[in-house]
A and B are shown apart, each in its own frame.
Chain A
C-alpha cells in the first residue's frame, strides 16, 4: 500500500534517484581504469530501484518501470554470450576482444572496447537477478 503521508521520502527520492543512477552508470563506465565495473554498477542501479520500491509499492514501481526482470537477465546473458561468440565469425578463439580509437565530435578521442558490451551484459544480469529475487520475495503472501 502506498503511504499517504510520505512526502519527505518522496521528495528526497526525486533528488536522490538521479544521483544514485548517475553514480552507478559512472561506476559502470569507469570499470576499465578505476575500481568498478558491471557487477557493482548493476547492484547500485538495483539499489536505486529498491529505493523506489521502499517509497512506493510494487504496483506503482511496475507502472513506472514496466520491465520483466527475467527477460532483462536473459538479454544480459545474450549480450555477454554474443560478444564472446562474435569471435567465432573471425575464426579467433572464443572471448577474444578488440578495441579501437574513435573520434567523437564532443567527447574527443574514445577507446571503445568490446569488453564493455560484455560488461553491459553483466550489468543487466545483475539488475535482473537482484530485482527478480527481491520482487519474488516481496510479492509472496
Chain B
C-alpha cells in the first residue's frame, strides 16, 4: 500500500474532525478516540517493519515528483518516534478518561488532543522544511488550547507566556526558512542537503553557518536547550497531568528531532563550529537542568527540570556525531519519551492523592499506596539509567561515543548528571513515600486504581525496552545509520 506512511497523520486528523461534531457525547468521543489511537499504533508498527525490511520510505503528495511537491519521508528514526508517539498518546488518552473532567471533555478536549498528535506525527514524518513549519504550528496551536482548557488563573497566565515565546520562535522559523530558501532555492529537505553540499565543496560559506545558528535558536526555543529554556518551568507547571505528560514527552522532543534532522542532514560541513556550539549548549543544558532538579522541593518542577537534562544528553550524543553516540542518542530519545510520560502521569496521581505538589507537605504514602510507590521507584531508576532498565543502554552508548570522540570532560558531565538525576528523583521517593504517614489520617483515601494503569504500562514498556535492548538495537542502529549517512536519505527521496 503506497499510502502507509501517511496513516499516522491521517487517522488522528479524521478522528479530530469527526469528534468536533460529537462534542456533547462523551462516551462516543472516548470510544472513537481509543479506536483511532489503536489504529494509529498498528499503522506505525507496520511502518517500522516496512522501513526495516525495505529501507527508507518516501511518499510524494499528490503524485508530484520529489523536489517539486511535498514529500513525506519515513526513515527508521522518524518511524520509531511516530510509534513511540502513538503509544504515549494511547496511554495519556486512557488516563484522561478518569482525570480530565467532564467540563473539558465537552469543550473539545478529544478533538484537540487528536490534532496535537497530527502535528507531532506530521513533524516527525515530513520531508519538506516549510511543511515542518506547518506541522509545528498544528502542534503548537493544539498545545495552546490544551494548556488553557479549564481556564484557571495559573493556566491563563502561563498560556500568555507560552504563546508569546512560541509566536516569536515561529516568526524566527519563517525568517530562517526564508534565508535558507534565498540561498539554496528549494524547500525539500533532501534537495536542500544536496544543494548545500554542492555549495560547500570548499568549506561551508558564512551565511550557511548563520542559518544553521538560526535554526539552532528556533528549534532550541521549542526544545528548551540552555539559554532558551526559560519559558518551560512555568508553562509546564500549569496544565493538568495528562496534558503535561503529552507536553513533557512529545513537544520538546519534536524540537530535539528537528535539531538532529537539520544538523545531520544539512549542516554537517563545518563541524568545528556548528557542532562545537551544539555540544557546549547541550552540556550547559545538562548542568542547568540538574541544578534546577536539585533546587526545587516541588514534584512537578523536579521532573520538568529533568526534561532539560534529557534534552541536553540527547543533543550531546548528536553533537559528538560518531556511530556509537548517534545510536545512543536515538535510543535515549525513545527511552526518555516513554519514561517522562510515565513520570508525569505518576506525579499527576500524587497530586490527586495529596492535593499538593509540594514535597514538604506529604510523606508516608508507601503504606496506603504500595503499587504507586514501587512503580515510581522503578520509573526513577529507569530515568537515572540503572542497568536492567531502559535509561542505561542509551547513556552508555552516548558516553562511549563521547570518550571515542575525546571529549572526556563533557562525557564525564553526562555520567555525573546521572547521579544527580537519581538523587533528585530519589528525593521525591524518600521524602514522599517513606517516613511518617502525615497527610492521610482519618481522611478517605482517593482510589487511584484506574489512573495507575497508564503509568504502569509506561514503566513496563520502559523495562521491556531496557531488558530486551538487543531486540531493539538493530532498529536503533539503522536509524543512527541514516543520520550518519545523509546520502541514503537523499537517494531515497530524489530517486536518482
Task: Tell whether, in the assembled complex, residue B13 and residue A93 are in contact, meaning their CB atoms are under 8 Å apart.
Answer: no
Q: How many residues of A contact B (CB 8 A)?
A: 17
Q: Considering only CB atoms, which chain B residue lies closest to A87 in the complex?
A: B3
B20's partner among A77, A81, A97 (CB-CB below 8 A) is A77
Does B14 lie at the interface of the complex (its beta carbon under 8 Å from any beta carbon of A)?
yes
Task: Tell whether, in the assembled complex, residue B14 and residue A93 are in contact, meaning their CB atoms are under 8 Å apart.
Answer: no
Would A85 and B14 be within 8 Å (CB), given that A93-B3, A93-B59, A94-B6 are in contact? yes
Would A95 and B62 be within 8 Å (CB), given that A81-B13, A85-B10 are in contact? yes
Interface 1/0s, chain A 85-97, versus B by CB < 8 A?
Answer: 1011001111111
Would A97 and B62 be within 8 Å (CB), given that A85-B10, A91-B1 are in contact? yes
- Determine the distance from Cα of A109 to Cα of B13 in the docked complex, in whole angstroms: 36
Task: Tell whether, in the assembled complex, residue A93 and residue B60 are in contact, meaning their CB atoms are under 8 Å apart.
Answer: yes
Does B202 lie at the interface of the complex (its beta carbon under 8 Å from any beta carbon of A)?
no
Kindly identify, within residues 46 to 77 of chain A, every residue whose CB is under 8 Å from any CB belonging to chain B: 70-71, 73-74, 77
- Determine the distance from Cα of A95 to Cα of B2 in the docked complex, in whole angstroms: 12
- Determine the distance from Cα of A97 to Cα of B61 in the docked complex, in whole angstroms: 10
Q: Considering only CB atoms, which chain A residue lies closest to B9 in the complex?
A: A94
Interface of B, secondary structure class, is: helix
Does A78 lie at the interface of the complex (its beta carbon under 8 Å from any beta carbon of B)?
yes
Does B152 lie at the interface of the complex (its beta carbon under 8 Å from any beta carbon of A)?
no
Task: Tell whether, in the assembled complex, residue A96 and residue B17 are in contact, meaning their CB atoms are under 8 Å apart.
Answer: no
Task: Tell whether, in the assembled complex, residue A74 and residue B3 are in contact, meaning their CB atoms are under 8 Å apart.
Answer: no
Task: Tell whether, in the assembled complex, residue A74 and residue B10 are in contact, meaning their CB atoms are under 8 Å apart.
Answer: no
How far apart are B221's CB and chain A's nearest CB, in angstroms? 27
On chain A, the residues within 8 Å of B21 by CB distance are: 71, 74
- Determine the distance from Cα of A129 to Cα of B6 in the docked complex, in whole angstroms: 26
On chain A, the residues within 8 Å of B18 by CB distance are: 74, 78
How far apart are A78's CB and chain B's nearest CB, in angstroms? 5
Tell me which of B10, B16, B20 has the highest count of chain A C-beta atoms within 10 A of its own C-beta.
Answer: B20
B59's partner among A70, A73, A85, A94 (CB-CB below 8 A) is A94
Task: Tell whether, in the assembled complex, residue B20 and residue A95 are in contact, meaning their CB atoms are under 8 Å apart.
Answer: no
On chain A, the residues within 8 Å of B438 by CB distance are: none
Would A93 and B10 be within 8 Å (CB), given that A73-B20, A74-B18, A77-B20 are in contact? no
How far apart are A52's CB and chain B's nearest CB, in angstroms? 24
Tell me which of A85, A94, A96 has the highest count of chain B C-beta atoms within 10 A of its own C-beta.
Answer: A94
Kindly identify, within residues 329 to 380 of chain B, every residue whose CB is under 8 Å from any CB belonging to chain A: none
Would A92 and B17 be within 8 Å (CB), given that A81-B10, A85-B10, A87-B3 are in contact? no
Task: Tell whether, in the assembled complex, residue A91 and residue B2 are in contact, meaning their CB atoms are under 8 Å apart.
Answer: yes
Task: Tell whether, in the assembled complex, residue B63 and residue A96 are in contact, meaning their CB atoms are under 8 Å apart.
Answer: yes
On chain A, the residues within 8 Å of B10 by CB distance are: 81, 85, 94
Q: Considering only CB atoms, which chain A residue lies closest to B59 in the complex?
A: A93
Would A93 and B61 be within 8 Å (CB), given that A74-B17, A74-B21, A77-B17 are in contact? yes
Task: Tell whether, in the assembled complex, residue B20 and residue A94 are in contact, meaning their CB atoms are under 8 Å apart.
Answer: no
- Determine the distance from Cα of A95 to Cα of B60 in the docked complex, in whole angstroms: 9
- Determine the distance from Cα of A87 to Cα of B21 in the docked complex, in whole angstroms: 24
Kindly identify, within residues 366 to 407 of chain B, every residue whose CB is under 8 Å from any CB belonging to chain A: none
Would A93 and B63 be within 8 Å (CB), given that A74-B17, A78-B17 are in contact? yes
On chain A, the residues within 8 Å of B62 by CB distance are: 93-97
Task: Tell whether, in the assembled complex, residue A94 and residue B3 are in contact, meaning their CB atoms are under 8 Å apart.
Answer: yes
Kindly identify, within residues 1 to 58 of chain B, every residue whose CB is under 8 Å from any CB belonging to chain A: 1-3, 6, 10, 13-14, 16-18, 20-21, 23
Task: Tell whether, in the assembled complex, residue B61 and residue A95 are in contact, meaning their CB atoms are under 8 Å apart.
Answer: yes
Q: Considering only CB atoms, which chain A residue lies closest to B61 in the complex?
A: A95
A88's partner among B3, B20, B23 (CB-CB below 8 A) is B3
On chain B, the residues within 8 Å of A70 by CB distance are: 20, 23
Task: Tell whether, in the assembled complex, residue B20 and residue A92 are in contact, meaning their CB atoms are under 8 Å apart.
Answer: no
Task: Tell whether, in the assembled complex, residue B13 and residue A71 are in contact, meaning their CB atoms are under 8 Å apart.
Answer: no
- Determine the distance from Cα of A77 to Cα of B21 in the docked complex, in whole angstroms: 11
How far apart are B293's CB and chain A's nearest CB, in angstroms? 41
Q: Considering only CB atoms, which chain B residue lies closest to A88 in the complex?
A: B3
- Determine the distance from Cα of A81 to Cα of B61 in the docked complex, in whole angstroms: 13
How far apart are B75's CB and chain A's nearest CB, in angstroms? 18
Task: Tell whether, in the assembled complex, residue A92 and residue B61 are in contact, meaning their CB atoms are under 8 Å apart.
Answer: no
On chain A, the residues within 8 Å of B17 by CB distance are: 74, 77-78, 81
On chain B, the residues within 8 Å of A92 by CB distance are: 2, 63
How far apart are B405's CB and chain A's nearest CB, in angstroms? 41
On chain A, the residues within 8 Å of B60 by CB distance are: 93
Residues on B facing A (Cβ under 8 Å) = 1-3, 6, 10, 13-14, 16-18, 20-21, 23, 59-63
Q: List 25 A-B contacts (CB under 8 A).
A: A70-B20, A73-B20, A77-B16, A77-B17, A78-B14, A81-B13, A85-B10, A85-B14, A88-B3, A91-B1, A91-B2, A91-B3, A93-B2, A93-B61, A93-B62, A93-B63, A94-B3, A94-B6, A94-B10, A94-B59, A95-B61, A95-B62, A96-B62, A96-B63, A97-B62
Residues on A facing B (Cβ under 8 Å) = 70-71, 73-74, 77-78, 81, 85, 87-88, 91-97
A-B pairs with lowest CB-CB distance, top 9:
A74-B20, A77-B17, A95-B62, A96-B63, A95-B61, A94-B6, A74-B21, A93-B63, A88-B3
